Amino acid sequence: MNFPSVNSALARALVARDYLEPTPVQSAVLQPETEGRDLVVSAQTGSGKTVAYGLAFAPTLLGTEESFPVRSGAPLALIIAPTRELAMQVHAELSWLYAEAGAKIVSCVGGMDARGERRLLANGCHIVVGTPGRLRDHMERGGLDVSALKVVVLDEADEMLDLGFREDLEFMLDATPRERRTLLFSATIPREIADLARRYQNDALRIDTLVRNQAHEDIEYKAIRIGAPDTERAVVNVLRFFDAKATLVFCATRDGVRQLHASLQKRGFDAVALSGELSQEERTYALQALRDGRARICVATDVAARGLDLPDLGLVVHADLPTNKETLTHRSGRTGRAGKKGICVLLVPHPKRRRAELLLASANIRAAWSGPPTAGEIRVLDQERLLADPILAEPASDDDLELGRTLLARSSAEGIAAALIRLYRSKLPLAQDLSDFTPMAERREEVRSYKNTERAAAPAIREKHARPANTTWFSLNVGRHGNADPKWILPLICRLGNVTKADIGAIRIFDTETKFELAWDSVSSFLASVSASGETEIVFERTSPANQAPPRSGKYGPSRPEGAVTPRAFAKPGSRPYVKPAGVGKSYNAAKPKRAKG
């Protein structure tokens, strides 16, 4: 083992856990110049910070001894973490690290039995781990004696300040002995953290193991273009495509978590939820289900998932875009930990593409842009996974062989194999039909050469499927002058309106607009989806049938549609008022005539 100057009891615990080489942050805090000093440490998420500070404060607590006294009194070390999950995680890590040293470790977190925690504190302990609110509550009630503290650790200090715990931290630090060691660990060191360090630390040594302006090398970033209403279906295809052993899906709100979690469960995914509205028991159950493999997907909010260390987490999906680069870093850092590779997927609705580009640039992350995984691509991968399934190579038992012979006597080998494939596929959630949502500017550039050669093509785009029986007509504000083309017009309508090709009838392209037929029973859902998409470039309106062509531009403005007359406001004396044709959503007003003199 290559850990320098580690207490022998802790060294045995490290060997038992196969910790043979220290991570950069662990190696940095064990250097001779760090001994006995206050530390300000910035390190990447998943870099082994908990073990690092557990090793760093061991000499302060144990000295040259291998173990703590059997009888324990007031705690010697206090570790403060921002969330319940992280505090419980730290408690578990320190428990195995200090097991052979005989340490008694107590956790104090919100949502758990406070009276039970007070009894444990009263019986004596060596290390206390907790969240700011619960720790302060125990201190104010006299249940937590901090007079004997030798070490205080602030874990994820930047997160605690972001969550509004500054007052609680200052209260606790002011109450602890001034000669204590203070170890401050944070992914970033903003001004507020630096101010806290100057106020409560003595000649602190700054340790920075981060490589500035460089993305996490163990995480592969992918940005996937989607339509605004397609988030849920895109999540389904991403989960099916990557098929990770464990996945964390981030939503912006509790309602979003609740809705997406219910949808994934309904589709057949083994999913759990994690949000602030859940009890501690429910949150603990969800995390344990993910750790032991009973669940493969966890849908969570930012607050609930801060600081989580989940084994075998191979995929992080941003169902809702992060609000800033710090949130992006913390979310994505749940994967690619301890030297393992991970994938981070950002789902980017078209109206938010520019925001996503700025977010990635601010974090100095280069993501591979693409459309969502298609149902066809997922089917190909399903076939490969079936053929590579280890169950096909496992030796068969005598009972299995006997039953196999019976099946072969009743059915052909091909029929049995086909039944096996159907059984395999029946357990897989259904992949969704999605299209690549390329921005309009890119679409126009892609079809420019096509339009140069096909400009004389007929304006009518005849669909190969049967037309819907009862239809109404809509228009969108792109025509020949905007390079309207069948290659992207039809997918655009289907994507923004959340309809299928079968719902759309004839399509007609004119100079400045395109008209299309839509099945009458799809109108209400179409309008709702278009409204929810947030699309501003493309405008849909109900219109007249396509055989009533819109006016062409002329020298003196647009000509009047057949049968229309000048509006009353601009009418000449004695003329009739303009009558709007039934069903037309856009009026064609005549050019304003010259005023009569006098």
Cα–Cα distance measured from residue 59 to residue 526, given in angstroms and rounded to the nearest whole number: 67
CA atoms of 470 and 519, how far apart (whole Å): 6
Cβ-Cβ contacts under 8 Å for 176 (sequence gap 6 or more): 78, 146, 149, 152
Q: Is the pLDDT of residue 441 over 50?
A: no
Judged against a pLDDT cut of 80, whether residue 554 lies above it is answered with: no
Give pLDDT, residue 591. Answer: 45
Contact 46, 309 (CB under 8 A): yes
pLDDT of residue 45: 66
Pick from 372, 375, 308, 326: nearest CA to 346? 372
Q: Is the pLDDT of residue 358 over 60?
A: yes
Lowest-confidence region among 5-19, 294-308, 336-350, 426-440: 426-440
Strand partners, 215: none
Question: What's the rounded mean pLDDT across residues 545-561?
Answer: 51
- Tabulate helix, strand, coil % of the chain (nearest 5): 40, 15, 45
- Give 470's strand partners: none
Residue scoring higher pLDDT (258 or 499): 258
Q: pLDDT by residue (tens digit) across 517-542?
A: 888 888 888 888 888 777 778 889 99
Q: What digits encode the pLDDT tens for the residues 468-481?
A: 668 889 999 988 88
- CA-based R_g, the chain, Å: 32
- Asked if 54 and 93 count as a contact pair (C-beta separation under 8 A), the reply is yes
Q: What is the pLDDT of residues 197-208, one digit of tens each?
A: 899 999 899 998
What pLDDT does 576 receive?
45
- CA atoms within a 13 Å half-sphere pointing along the CA-CB vector of 114: 14
* 47 and 35 Cβ atoms separated by less than 8 Å: no
Domains 8-208 and 219-377 belong to one CATH topology: yes
What is the percentage of the chain residues whose pLDDT exceeds 70?
Answer: 82
d(CA 265, CA 253): 18
Instruction: Work out the end-to-end distance of the chain between its first and last CA atoms, rounded to an integer number of angstroms.
Output: 104
Residue with tokens 């301890």: 338
Q: Which residues contact 385 (CB under 8 A, 6 or more apart)?
A: 243
Please report the pLDDT score of residue 211 as a whole number.
56
**Predicted pLDDT at 443:** 46
The band of 438, judged by pLDDT with boundaries at 50, 70 and 90, is low
Residue 588: what pLDDT? Answer: 39
Q: How confident is the model at residue 346 (pLDDT cuts 50, 70, 90)?
A: very high
Whole-number Cα distances in Å, 582 to 102, 209, 545 = 86, 70, 11
What's the mean pLDDT when you consider all of the chain? 82
Collapsing DSSP to helix, strand or coil, 466 comes out as: coil
Query: How far apart are alpha carbons 440 and 443 in whole angstroms?
Result: 5
pLDDT reading at 445 higher than 80: no
- Average pLDDT on 221-230 reads 90
pLDDT of residue 296: 93
Q: Which is more confidently placed, 297 or 158?
A: 297
DSSP collapsed to 3 states, 329-388 = HHHHCCCCCCCCCEEEEEEEEHHHHHHHHHHHHHCCCCCEEECCCCHHHHHHHHHHHHHC
Residue 295 to residues 119, 261, 382, 452: CA-CA distances in angstroms? 34, 12, 20, 54
Query: What is the predicted pLDDT for the residue at 304?
Result: 63
Q: What pLDDT, on a 0 to 100 scale, did the predictor assign at position 109?
A: 92
Characterize 335-354 residue by residue with b for buried, 16 or more Cβ atoms within 10 angstroms of its Cβ, and e for exposed. bbbeeeebbbbbbbbbebbe
Place of tokens 């170890």: 183
> Which of these ranges, 76-85, 315-324, 458-467, has the smallest mean pLDDT?
458-467
- Report CA dihedral (237, 447, 529, 298) to the nearest 10 degrees: 20
The residue among 231 and 459 whose pLDDT is bigger is 231
pLDDT attached to residue 345? 96
Query: 585-591, long-range: CB within 8 Å, 24+ apart, which pairs?
Result: 585/475, 585/541, 585/542, 585/543, 586/475, 586/541, 586/543, 588/550, 588/551, 588/558, 588/560, 588/561, 588/564, 590/557, 590/560, 590/564, 590/565, 590/566, 591/556, 591/557, 591/558
Q: Which CATH number fits domain 8-208: 3.40.605.10, 3.40.140.10, 3.40.1350.10, 3.40.50.300?
A: 3.40.50.300
Cα gap 236→58, rounded to integer Å: 46
Give the separation between CA 154 and CA 132, rounded to whole angstroms.
10
Residue with more model confidence, 467 or 321: 321
Across the range 24-33, mean pLDDT stands at: 90
Contacts of 285 (CB under 8 A, 6+ apart): 272
Of residues 123, 161, 162, 164, the one with CA closest to residue 143: 123
- The mean pLDDT of 133-144, rounded to a whole number, is 94
pLDDT band, residue 459 (cuts 50/70/90): very low
Cα–Cα distance for residue pair 135/149, rounded to 1 Å: 14
Q: Domain locations in the chain?
A: 8-208, 219-377, 440-542
Does residue 29 or residue 562 have the better pLDDT? 29
pLDDT of residue 448: 47
What's the average model confidence in pLDDT over 150-171?
Answer: 89
Provide the pLDDT confidence category of residue 357 given band limits of 50, 70 and 90. very high
The CATH number assigned to the domain with range 440-542 reads 3.30.70
Task: Kindly state the average pLDDT of the residues 360-378.
Answer: 90
Neighbour count for residue 1 (Cβ, 10 Å): 13
Average pLDDT of span 268-287: 87
H helices present in 267-317, as ranges? 280-291, 302-305
The CATH number of the domain covering residues in 219-377: 3.40.50.300
Q: How far apart are CA 8 and CA 10, in angstroms?
A: 5
Helices (H), 102-230: 114-122, 132-140, 157-162, 166-175, 191-200
How far apart, in whole angstroms, are the C-alpha atoms of residue 25 and residue 31? Answer: 10
Using a pLDDT cut of 90, give the percent of the chain over it: 36
Q: What is the DSSP string of 50-70?
A: HHHHHHHTHHHHHTT-SS--S
pLDDT confidence bin for 10, thresholds 50/70/90: very high
**Is 235 in contact with 51 (CB distance < 8 Å)?**
no
Q: 558 — phi, psi (to 5°)?
A: -65, 145
Lowest mean pLDDT among 235-239, 374-378, 432-436: 432-436
The pairing of beta strand 297-300 with beta strand 246-250: parallel
Q: What confidence score (pLDDT) does residue 575 get? A: 42
Is residue 543 within 8 Å of residue 475, measured between CB atoms?
yes
If you average pLDDT over residues 13-34, what whole number do you get? 88
* Model pLDDT, residue 447: 45
Is the pLDDT at 187 greater than 90? The verdict is no
549's CB contacts (< 8 A; 6+ apart) are 510
| Res 572 pLDDT > 50 | no
User: Within 13 Å, how many C-alpha atoms sit on residue 111's CB side?
Assistant: 16
- CA 521/CA 529 separation, integer angstroms: 14
153: nearest Cα among 178, 128, 117: 128
- The residue among 40, 165, 16 whose CA lies nearest residue 95 is 16
Specify the pLDDT at position 534.
74
Q: What is the pLDDT of residue 303?
A: 73
Q: What is the pLDDT of residue 134?
A: 95
pLDDT band at residue 559 using 50, 70 and 90 as cut-offs: very low
Residue 107 has pLDDT above 90, yes or no: yes
- Given a cut of 60, is residue 408 above it in pLDDT? yes
Contact in structure between 296 and 265 (CB atoms under 8 Å): no
